[in-house]
Amino acid sequence: MTWILLVVVLAPASLIWLGWNLTLDALWQPTDRVTVRRILLLGEVDCDDHVVDLGCGDGRIVVAAARDFGARSTGVEIDPLRVLWGRAWIFSAGLRTRARIVHGNMYTYALSDATVVILFLSATSNFRLQDRMRKELAPGSRVVSYYHPIWGWEPDLIGEAKDGYPIYVYRMGEAT
């Protein structure tokens, strides 16, 4: 009886959740550990940085930035289930003083405190964010975009992920 109840409730709820996720601007694709490390290394992340991962998914970049690089890190995620997962991961890693996941919209989250912004989004999302990043990020801040470039911006560096896809690094300044 319990099994039938679980199937009747969880199956439709899972389908609704999956369908809702397909309507978002960027689909969740977990990034492997090697690529996470390369993203943070190319972004020159250190203990003086505040890393903001827009559309952070389960928070793996947020955790790595705090744990492995000593940075203060914030993830912004719209999916409440991934927010809970990421918060649990931060708690279990003992990183609550250096890392957090915010349930919110990446298009409205304030970026003025960020020194490094991480993007693994769609090309359209990158395009929608570029004016806000240009206005809100201080000169010298870095934007690291995995897979998709930012249209009209000239990268300072193009690295390569474990899977061979590009990692674009932009440094904010007068010309960006």
pLDDT recorded at residue 30: 84
pLDDT tens digits, one per residue of 78-104:
999 999 999 999 999 999 999 999 999
Residue 110 confidence (pLDDT) above 90: yes
Answer yes or no: CATH 3.40.50.2300 is held by domain 26-171: no
Find the angle CA(146)-CA(132)-CA(65) to the nearest 5 degrees: 40
Residue 176 confidence (pLDDT) above 50: no
pLDDT recorded at residue 21: 47
3-class DSSP state for residue 30?
A: coil
What's the whole-model pTM score?
0.85
Find the angle CA(170)-CA(173)-CA(175) to the nearest 5 degrees: 90
Report the percentage of the chain scoring pLDDT > 90.
79
pLDDT tens digits, one per residue of 13-30:
455 544 444 445 665 678
Residue 175 confidence (pLDDT) above 90: no
What is the pLDDT of the chain when averaged over all its residues? 89
Per domain, the residue ranges of the chain are 26-171
Residue 48 confidence (pLDDT) above 90: yes
Beta strands 142-146; 72-77: pairing state = unpaired
pLDDT average, residue stretch 104-131:
96
